[in-house]
Structures are given as structure tokens and as C-alpha cells.
Amino acid sequence: MSTPSLPDMSKLSNSALDFIDDVRFGELLSKKSDAGRIREIAAKSKAKQALNLDEAAALLNADEPELVELIYDTARQLKKDVYGNRIVLFAPFYVGNLCMNDCQYCGFRRSNAEQIRHTLTVEELHEQVSRMLAMGQKRTIAVFGEHRNYGAQYIADTVREIYSVKYRSPKTGSISSLRRVNINAAPLDHGGYKIVREAGIGTYQVFQETYHKPTYRKMHPAGTRKSDFMWRLDSPARAIESGCDDVGLGALFGLASWKFDALSLVAHAIHLMSNYNVGPHTISFPRIRPASGLHIQEVIDNNVADRDFLRMIAVLRLSVPYTGLIVTAREPANVRQEALGFGVSQLDAGGRIEIGGYKDINSESVDAQQQALNREQFELGDVRSLDTVVKELLENGYIPSFCTACYRLGRTGEVFMEYAKPGFIQDFCTPNALSTLQEYLQDFASPETKAVGEKLVEQEIAKLPDDRRKQMLVQRLEKIRSTDKRDLFF
Ligand code: SAM
Ligand code: SF4
């Protein structure tokens, strides 16, 4: 598609600074938390104020069961106040597994001879996207290894190709396409971020993997591009300076101490907020999974137990109230289900991460599809179909949402942070979530899921406080039920 290129690693952002102060973070994490202080911090969070580092560290240190309970309760409340009961759904799209790096935890690392390397051709890309659309997907994250063939122009061309694929629902004849393409790929330079922004990307995610420098050095061998800690740490700032104001942070848990990396994620969010007046759009916290050619015990020094993982999610919810939290299908279904209660706002569902892994939806039982580790980055923990996950969410009172309205109306970055306040959810998010759910029920859901979904839609309409909005939404839903008109939003 385009000529290979590599970014110019000599130019950092205007705010470039190594704000990870190991000594200070260590001190903060060794202070004991008392109940009075935790109550004060929880009250500040409830008022939807972002926490400072001392406060986040105090929450991470609150090990006593009753304090952990208080943090969980506050996280549940905040989740309700800021996000309502919507859960945004997406699916990953792995474009190619070439990689010049040698990250010790990853199946794509260059020294892994077991990995079968492939980059999707344009025809394969169209077929894969059609299969995602046939399930009912509307949002994706395109994922790439770090390689000279996957430069900014290539990523931008790929995003345009993905947006161009159209699918006609055999049930209703409606036409759909992916409406938001996020990216998870290597850090770019300023010019690179401008190129991908022009292709209309959603969020650009770069996970720091670990903020603990000695561990970072151990995991990313010297001489590889990824061994440059600062280039990676600075990448969200460069993205924002280049106009990509929805950035996603993340850390890979299991490498270093979970408390240290969780505190560092908060420090990264504070750094962006104080320099650009915009925090991260999302934070991800994958835990290491088995991968091809990987002896997982040799990599994981700091395995995170489920209870600590859930605690960390709750602390992040309190620390950065307006940042979306993502828990991916790396996690098993039961952990994902529990995490929803403590503040997770986005899940991937029905995703396949082998290169070319999306199969024809009618050809086999999608739930039971085997994973081929030598074609994927790691093993998934939850391979249930989109329909199964949607049904479970509905049964638990959540609204599965495929909404992309904010990003398409320019409500991103700093502007988004102003909107994501009480009132906005009822006026915009809930009605938009319900209309995208109605589209899914009409065009793609199984009869069982449709029946549960229709009931939830009725209950949610009844709860809307504004009669005018309610009336407009009812008309909109009727249009979706009786015509092939789609993609209607407030
Ligand atoms: N190559 C790009 C990079 O490294 O920035 C894209 C990232 S990679 C395709 C997506 C993320 O998967 C990585 O940033 C890492 O956090 C995570 N990952 C890698 N190996 C993993 C494993 N064995 N288990 C779980 N997550 C893993
Ligand atoms: Fe390559 Fe990314 Fe895997 Fe590292 S994590 S080996 S850069 S794909």
C-alpha cells in the first residue's frame, strides 16, 4: 500500500519528562493508610474530582478488608454516575504480526521461530472486516507489530480501507460499516501522528508495558526500538500535540509490582492532564497470558491475583473518574463480569486475534473455535461470541452499546471531558446506546438475545427523565424497527 518508513526518534514532545520517580513512588507506596483518610479520599472521588498521586497511593495501600469494601462501593457509585449502565463493545483486528522487537512476553517477538508471520492482503482485510460486520461489530481496534512495513502511512491506508468496507444485513437489508477504528501500534513521531489522524482514527493506544525501569530493560533487550523507555513514555504527549487527542494508556500486569504500575498509570494521566488539559481517553490493564514459544513463569515475577486485579480496577476508577477503563478478552468471563461492577466501561466481545482469525459466521460454532497460538500474540481467556456476551450483559441489566456519536461529532479530548458530566449521559449516551442496541437486535441478534434486549430497551426508555427526549428516541427506535435506516444519533 505505501512505502515503508520509520519514525524520527530524535524529537520528543514539548512536555517530555521522565515523571516516573521510583524513589518517591516507593515511599508513597510504603505509607500506611488509615480509615479516616480513605474516607476523605473516597468523598473527593464521589465528587468526581481526579485524585493526586498521594491519594491514589493511599488507596493502593489500603489493604484492610473494610477499606477495600469502601473503595469498591465508591467505584460502583462512580461508575453509575459517570457512565450509567452502558458497556461499550468492540472487537480487535490484528492486521499483521511482523515485528522488529523482542519483547520477552509476546508471541510476535522476532526471536520466536514458532510464530507464522503474515500481513493481511487488501482482499483478506476486506473479507475479515466483512466477517466482523456480519457479527454486528461497529467499533474495532486495529493492532500491528512494530515493523518498518507498518509505518504511519501504512496504518493510515489500512484505517481508510477498513472504513471503506460495507456489509448488507441479510435479515433487514440495512448497510453497515465499522464506525470507529482505534489503533494499538508502535509509538509514532509528530508527523506520523498527523498522518494517522487525517485517516480519522479514534483512540491511539500505546501501552508502556511497565513503568518500572529495571523491569522494562529486562523485558525489552537493548538495541531494539522498544528498549527506548522515554520514546514510549512520551508517545501519548506527541500524539496529543499532533491533534490525536484521544489517547489510550496501559500497562501489562505481571511484569513488575501491580501497585507500582497502577500508581504510574495515574502519574501518566496527571502528566497529560497538567500539560494538555486532557487526560487519557482510556486505560487498559492486560495481565500476561500464555503465548507461543513463551515460558510464562520465566517472564512473570509478579503474577496479579484476581482479587488484587479487581482492587486495582476500583482504585483506577476512583483516581481518574472520566477515563474509560477497558478489560479485554484476555481475562476469563467470570473476572470480566465482576470487573464491570467496579468501573470498567468497555469490553471486547466476539474477537479473534489470530491474523485472519475471523471465520465465516455460519461455518462453525463460533463459541467453540480453537485458538492457534502460532498465529496470534497470546491466548484469549474469553472466546464467547458477540451474541453470547450481549445476552449476558442484557440479563445483568447492562446496556450493550456500539455508540460512536461523540467521536463523530467532534466530542473528543478536552471537549469530551466537559460533556461527560451528569445530564449528558441521560440526554445523549443512554439514548444513543439504546439506538445502537436496537440496530444490533434488528440486524444481527439471535431470537433469544432479541427477546431479552427488547425488554431492556422498554425498561430503559421508561426511566428517561426528559419526555421530549423520550419521544424522539421512541420515534427513532421505530424507524430502526420498520426501515433499513441506521446510524441515527444525538
Ligand atoms: N506492537 C505494538 C506495541 O508493542 O506497542 C502493539 C502492541 S501489541 C500487538 C498489544 C499489547 O499486547 C502490548 O502492548 C502488550 O501490552 C500486550 N501483550 C503482549 N504480549 C502479551 C501476552 N503474552 N499476554 C497479554 N498481553 C500481551
Ligand atoms: Fe512486537 Fe508489540 Fe509484541 Fe513487542 S509487544 S514483540 S513490539 S508486537
List the beta bridge partners of residue 93.
142
93 CA → ligand 2 middle, Å: 15
Pairing verdict, β 86-96 and 324-327: unpaired
Q: Is the CB of 185 under 6 A from ligand 1?
A: yes
Cell of 240: 496529543
Torsion angles phi and psi, residue 93, rounded to 5: -135, 105
- Report which bound ligand comes closest to the CA of 353: 1
**Portion of the chain with pLDDT greater than 90, in percent:** 81
CA torsion, points 219, 223, 228, 232, in degrees to nearest 10? Answer: -80
CA 98 vs. chain centroid, Å, equals 22
Q: What is the pLDDT of residues 250-302, one digit of tens each?
A: 999 999 999 999 999 999 999 999 999 999 999 999 999 999 988 887 888 88
> Which backbone phi and psi does 439 adopt, to 5 degrees?
-60, -45
Among protein residues, the one with the nearest Cα to ligand 2's atom 4 is 103
Phi, psi of 203 (to 5 degrees): -85, 145
Q: How many angstroms is it from 384 CA to the middle of ligand 2?
A: 25
Instruction: Single out the residue of 316, 418, 401 nearest to residue 85, CA to CA.
Output: 401
d(CA 156, CA 93): 15
Q: How far apart are CA 474 and CA 469, in angstroms?
A: 9
Ligand 1 proximity of 145 Cβ (cutoff 6 Å): yes
Check if 304 has its Cβ closer than 6 Å to any atom of ligand 1. no
The answer to whether residues 374 and 110 touch, using CB atoms and an 8 Å cutoff, is no
Give tens-digit pLDDT for 314-343: 999 999 988 999 999 999 999 999 999 988
Beta-carbon contacts of residue 34 (< 8 Å; ≥ 6 apart): none
Domain topology for 79-411: TIM Barrel (3.20.20)
Cβ of 101 less than 6 Å from ligand 2: yes
For the chain, the structural domain boundaries read 79-411, 416-482
Tens-binned pLDDT, residue by residue, of the chain (490 aa): 555 578 999 899 999 999 999 999 999 999 988 899 999 999 999 988 889 999 999 999 999 999 999 999 999 998 888 888 999 999 999 999 999 999 999 999 999 999 999 999 999 999 999 999 999 999 999 999 999 999 999 999 999 999 999 999 999 999 999 999 999 999 999 999 999 999 999 999 999 999 999 999 999 999 999 999 999 999 999 999 999 989 999 999 999 999 999 999 999 999 999 999 999 999 999 999 999 988 887 888 889 999 999 999 999 999 998 899 999 999 999 999 999 998 899 999 999 999 999 987 766 555 555 678 888 888 899 999 999 999 999 999 999 999 998 778 877 766 565 556 656 777 788 899 999 999 999 999 999 999 999 999 999 999 998 899 899 999 999 999 999 999 988 8
- Looking at ligand 2, which atom is closest to the CA of residue 110? 6
Ligand 1 centroid–CA 102 distance in Å is: 11
Which of 98, 101, 150 maximizes ligand 2 atoms within 8 Å of its Cβ, making it the mutation to test the pocket?
A: 101
